Amino acid sequence: MTDTTTTADTRAVSDVPLVRALNVSKAFYGNEVLKGIDLDVREGEVVCLLGPSGSGKTTFLRCINQLETIDGGRIWIDGDLMGYDDRNGQLHRLHDKRIAAQRRDIGMVFQRFNLFPHMTALQNVMEGPVQVKGQGKGESRAAALELLERVGLQEHCAHFPAQLSGGQQQRVAIARALAMKPKLMLFDEPTSALDPELVGEVLAVMRELAQDGMTMIVVTHEMSFARQVADRVVFMDAGVVVESGPPAEVINRPQHERTRAFLSRLHAEEEHRREAIEDPLHGNDH
């Protein structure tokens, strides 16, 4: 075994797991939503998480970045046990301050852009470093401008969210998350609230981020993105990982009936949407 493997698009992925989730369980009011999830994500790896509505994808991402507590199992990020102190096998919840510090290493981008509406694009991107990290305004501003340029929005830095398209807002949201210099980026259906013509620009930014070596877990139903960018696709259903593997294997040759059923439903929905775009008058009739 070598230290690194090289993916099809020549990205280097290390053998070291940056994320290690072990037997993670979570219930809401007795409803078991995660039933023992195991997942390792290596540094530089891009993992796409797929699964039907209600399968627990969002909950799992929220557990990784400590927006939810977990009922069982453990999650490590870069060797750091998230949310708890392990004293001889007994877990003790960390203080909020320690948890906040752990969370700073993780960027999250949601389906809805969640920008501060009263702040410009530039102010949105500067806010975290200034408020949370106590960085100077000059330094934060320079870094924010660079990030906005990286996501193709240098001309929009003075615009407020309401003056930006959904795709532009989502790119600001990505720049805002990157401003905290995260080790890991979590994306929860980042393009599913966008008009179809705006999806590509957001995926392009994510693709570049992957190429630059960012470790990413992406909940998405964009199969072409998963095929081209993901190192691994993980299919979840009803709170368990059903199967995982290279995209071509999971997407083209799923081993489990549940994966097959999900993918063929997804495929039918995609066809339907395409017809609706190509033939807006009749696409929705059948």
Ligand X SMILES: Nc1ncnc2c1ncn2[C@@H]1O[C@H](COP(=O)(O)OP(=O)(O)OP(=O)(O)O)[C@@H](O)[C@H]1O
Q: Given the rule CB under 6 A, which residues bind ligand X? A: 28, 33, 51, 53-59
Say which residues have a Cβ less than 8 Å from residue 207's Cβ, sequence separation at least 6.
225, 228, 229
* Closest separation in Å from C-beta 58 to Mg ion: 3
Query: Shortest distance, CB of residue 38 to ligand X, whole angstroms?
Result: 17
Q: Is the dihedral of CA 214, 217, 222, 223 positive or negative?
A: positive
CB of 49 to Mg ion, least distance (A): 10
- Say how far apart CA 50 and CA 261 lie, in whole Å: 13
129 binds, among ligand X, Mg ion, none (CB under 5 to 8 A by kind): none
Measured from the CB atom, is 148 or 202 closer to ligand X? 202
Give the closest residue to 82 by CA, choosing from 230, 73, 56, 119: 73
> Toward Mg ion, which CB reaches closer, 54 or 136?
54
- Which lies closer to ligand X via its Cβ, residue 24 or residue 151? 24
d(CA 157, CA 143): 12
**Which of ligand X, Mg ion, none interacts with 168 (beta carbon under 5 to 8 A by kind)?**
none
Please report whether residue 170 would count as binding Mg ion according to CB under 5 A. Answer: no
Q: Where are the alpha helices (DSSP H) in 74-195?
A: 96-103, 121-131, 137-150, 166-178
Question: What residue number has its CB nearest to Mg ion?
Answer: 58
Looking at beta carbons only, is 106 or 164 nearer to ligand X?
A: 106
Nearest to Mg ion of 57, 141 (CB atom): 57
Binding partner of 54, given ligand X, Mg ion, none, CB within 5-8 angstroms per partner class: ligand X
Site for Mg ion in 43-72 (CB under 5 A): 57-58
Cα 226 to the chain's mean position, in Å?
12
User: Closest separation between CB of residue 140 and Mg ion, Å?
Assistant: 31
Tokens coding 200: 């590509």
User: If contact means CB under 5 to 8 A according to the sort of partner, which of ligand X, Mg ion, none does residue 205 touch?
Assistant: none
Does position 191 interact with Mg ion (CB under 5 A)? The reply is no
Q: How far apart are the C-alpha atoms of 102 and 113, rounded to whole Å?
A: 22
CA distances from 103 to 49, 61, 73, 76, 128 (A): 21, 12, 18, 12, 12
Buried b (16+ CB within 10 A) or exposed e, 176-204: bbbbbebbbbbbbbbbeebeeebbbbbbe
- C-beta of 33 vs 223, nearer to ligand X: 33
Write out the residues near Mg ion by the rule CB under 5 A.
Answer: 57-58
